């Protein structure tokens, strides 16, 4: 089941990325596939051909990567699933951009060849109406913070997670207020158009962050529900995730549609052309821009200025993180196979795996049972839930809250109850837990 959850939770990324990139083949603010072109070039046969080839190649890449995921899900052994998934995820973040960058390069070559490069001019546009617009009040972000923290008063074990969700709501306010750079959305000399584009972008940006805050509050509630009704909580989490994705992409594409319609007739005279600062149409590099965070030219997102030292540091961190994905599966496989021992001496029962160590004093034991199999409704609350290692705090109807250290595929299991806590231990060696159970019973 876990491998299906693993693949199905990410397989949608490829078509979504391809859809987002293909949408950039439509001219918005005179830009298609990251290249700014004059109005006369929008219907040029060579331009149209390059764009059509880009769209076709993007869908081919999307289909190929998706098929690889489906084949892996049904044919690769379970022991290799996590490693292959991590490698696939790394490539799925990179590969869809290959047709985009190639098309961007061809359009730039054609642009230079045809003399469509816009001469630099200094143009002033009055944006006073935009700058006078008020930002959303921070008080709007307070309710989701409170909602996210409410479960903490009923479930202290998961307090760290609830505080994390509330902290995300606070972070979203600062992201809304300070990660947006109020650069005028200048396309040409039309100041009214500039104001309109800037206003709709800021409105969309704010709407996304405020809704995201309330979504995080709902995730916190779902996490709390999972402690009592796991399947209901999983269904609620899935529903929340789907609603968030639908809302976010509907908002993004609605903004893109407005940008496309409002700028449809621009580019006939002077127009903004800063392609030199956008490498491959994706990476922003401008040493003369003192800002670290700048607006993407299309849509509502922001990006980093990689010409700044901080931008280079952030980019290096993201690259290293991406390159580390293939090692994630190897690490988890190693972690899941670390040796588990359960030993008994004159005073205590000790379960250990790596740095994890649980000890139970014999005099505190009120009851001990030997379980041939784990409870069907055993759910992880805090800790590790790998295919070959359960470690941390779990819960089930039969055991209640229980501290667990075992390999779920290697029974039987030792259930120890004390006045304050319940423990569930297991080892991989056949017969060891049976012997330990009999020794404790004596």
What CA–CA distance (Å, rounded) separates 283 from 104? 12
Give pLDDT, residue 154: 86
Query: What value does the mean pLDDT take over residues 6-29?
Result: 88
Strand partners, 369: 415
Q: Determine, yes or no, domain membership for 332.
A: no
Rounded distance between C-alpha atoms, residue 440 and residue 21, angstroms: 63
Q: Report how far residue 91's alpha carbon sits from residue 99's, in angstroms, rounded to the nearest whole number.
A: 14
383 in the same domain as 287:
no
C-alpha span between 247 and 254 (Å, rounded): 10
Residue 145 pLDDT > 90: yes
Q: Distance (Å, rounded) from C-alpha 52 to C-alpha 46?
A: 10
Q: What is the pLDDT of residue 247?
A: 93
Read off the pLDDT of each residue in 314-321 and give the average, rounded to a whole number.
90
Tell me which of 399 and 123 has the higher pLDDT.
Answer: 399
Per-residue pLDDT tens digits for 271-292? 888 899 999 999 999 998 888 8
Same domain assignment for residues 206 and 355: no
Full residue range of the structural domain in which residue 404 is found: 341-441
Is the pLDDT at 111 greater than 90? The verdict is yes
Token pair 């001990």: residue = 368
306 in the same domain as 180 = yes
Pick from 406, 388, 323: nearest CA to 78: 388
Identify whether 181 is preceded by a cis peptide bond (ω within 30 of 0): no
For 429-440, what is the mean pLDDT?
88
- Which pLDDT does position 4 carry in this prediction? 73
Same domain, 261 and 345: no
Who contacts 33 (Cβ-Cβ below 8 Å, separation ≥6)?
24, 25, 50, 51, 54, 100, 103, 104, 107, 281
Residues 287 and 404 grouped into a single domain: no
- Whether the pLDDT of residue 121 is over 80: the answer is no
Domain holding 386: CATH number?
2.30.29
The confidence band for 126, taking pLDDT boundaries of 50, 70 and 90, is low
CA dist 285 and 322 (Å) reads 21
Rounded to two decimals, the pTM is 0.79
Q: How far apart are CA 376 and CA 398, in angstroms?
A: 9
| pLDDT > 90? residue 260 | yes
* pLDDT, greater one: 227 or 11: 11
Are residues 294 and 166 located together in one domain of the fold?
A: yes
Instruction: Name the more confident of 336 and 359.
Output: 359
334 assigned to some structural domain: no
Q: How confident is the model at residue 184 (pLDDT cuts 50, 70, 90)?
A: low
More confident residue, 309 or 267: 309
Same domain for 194 and 153, yes or no, is yes
pLDDT for the residue numbered 228: 75
Measured CA to CA, the distance from residue 38 to residue 29 in angstroms comes to 10
Q: CA 351, CA 342: separation in Å to the nearest integer?
A: 4
Percent of the chain scored above 70 by pLDDT?
95
**Residue bearing the bigger pLDDT, 87 or 109:** 109
Is 336 a domain residue? no
**Percent above pLDDT 90 for the chain:** 44
Q: What is the tally of structural domains in the chain? A: 2
Q: In the structure, what pLDDT confidence band is assigned to residue 374 with cuts at 50, 70 and 90?
A: very high
Residue 238 belongs to a domain: yes
Q: Are residues 263 and 354 in the same domain?
A: no
Q: Residue 53: is its pLDDT beyond 60?
A: yes
- Specify the pLDDT at position 407: 92
Lowest-confidence pick of 156-160, 387-391, 395-399, 419-423: 156-160
Final residue in a domain of this structure, among 302, 327, 352: 327
**Is residue 183's pLDDT more than 70?**
no
What does the pLDDT read at residue 280? 93
Does pLDDT of 130 surpass 60? Answer: no
The whole-chain average pLDDT of the chain stands at: 87
Q: Using CA atoms, how far apart are residues 316 and 13, in angstroms rounded to an integer?
A: 23
Q: Confidence class of residue 39 from pLDDT cuts 50, 70 and 90?
A: confident
pLDDT at 317: 92
Q: Is 39 among the domain residues?
A: yes
Residue, of 397 and 157, whose pLDDT is higher: 397
Query: What tens digit of pLDDT does each residue of 404-431 get?
Result: 999 998 889 999 999 889 999 999 888 8
Higher pLDDT: 60 or 195? It is 60
| 296 and 424 belong to one structural domain | no
**Is 335 domain-assigned?**
no
Quick one: average pLDDT of 309-322?
Answer: 90
pLDDT bracket for residue 136 (50, 70, 90):
confident
Predicted pLDDT at 120: 62
pLDDT by residue (tens digit) across 339-351? 899 998 878 999 9
User: Is 259 among the domain residues?
Assistant: yes
Does residue 333 sit within a domain?
no
Instruction: Give the number of other CB atoms < 10 A from CB of residue 425.
Output: 23
Which range (145-159, 321-335, 386-400) has the least confidence?
321-335
């Amino acid at each position: 089941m876990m491998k299906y959850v693993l693949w199905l939770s990410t397989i949608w990324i490829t078509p979504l990325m391809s859809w987002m990139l293909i949408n950039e083949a439509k001219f918005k603010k005179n830009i298609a596939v990251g290249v700014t072109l004059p109005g006369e070039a929008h219907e040029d046969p060579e331009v149209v051909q390059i764009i059509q080839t880009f769209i076709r190649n993007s869908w081919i890449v999307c289909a190929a990567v998706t098929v690889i995921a489906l084949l892996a899900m049904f044919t690769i052994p379970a022991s290799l699933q996590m490693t292959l998934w991590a490698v696939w995820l790394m490539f799925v973040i990179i590969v869809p951009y290959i047709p985009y960058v190639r098309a961007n390069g061809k359009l730039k070559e054609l642009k230079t060849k045809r003399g469509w490069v816009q001469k630099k001019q200094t143009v002033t546009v009055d944006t006073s109406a935009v700058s006078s617009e008020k930002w959303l009040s921070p008080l709007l972000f307070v309710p989701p913070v409170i909602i996210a923290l409410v479960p903490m008063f009923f479930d202290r074990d998961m307090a760290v997670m609830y505080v994390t969700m509330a902290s995300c709501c606070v972070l979203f306010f600062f992201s809304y207020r300070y990660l947006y750079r109020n650069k005028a959305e200048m396309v040409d000399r039309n100041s009214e158009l500039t104001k309109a584009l800037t206003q709709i972008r800021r409105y969309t940006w704010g709407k996304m962050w405020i809704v995201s805050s309330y979504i995080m509050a709902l995730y916190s509630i779902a996490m709390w529900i999972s402690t009592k009704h796991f399947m209901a909580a999983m269904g609620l989490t899935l529903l929340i995730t789907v609603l968030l994705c639908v809302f976010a992409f509907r908002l993004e594409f609605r903004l893109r549609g407005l940008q496309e319609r409002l700028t449809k007739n621009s580019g006939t005279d002077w127009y903004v052309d800063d392609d030199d600062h956008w490498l491959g149409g994706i990476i922003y590099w401008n040493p003369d821009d003192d800002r670290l965070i700048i607006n993407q030219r299309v849509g509502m997102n922001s990006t980093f200025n990689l010409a700044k030292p901080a931008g280079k540091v952030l980019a290096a961190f993201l690259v290293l993180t991406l390159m580390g994905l293939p090692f994630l599966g190897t690490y988890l496989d190693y972690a899941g196979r670390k040796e588990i021992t359960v030993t008994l001496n004159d005073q205590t029962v000790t379960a250990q795996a790596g740095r994890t160590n649980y000890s139970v004093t014999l005099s505190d034991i009120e009851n001990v049972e030997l379980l041939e199999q784990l409870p069907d409704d055993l759910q992880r609350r805090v800790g590790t839930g790998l295919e070959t290692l359960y470690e941390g705090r779990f819960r089930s109807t039969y055991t209640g809250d229980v501290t667990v250290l075992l390999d779920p595929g290697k029974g039987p299991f030792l259930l120890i109850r004390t006045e304050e806590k319940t423990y569930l231990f297991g080892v991989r060696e056949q017969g060891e837990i049976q012997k330990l159970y009999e020794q404790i019973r004596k």
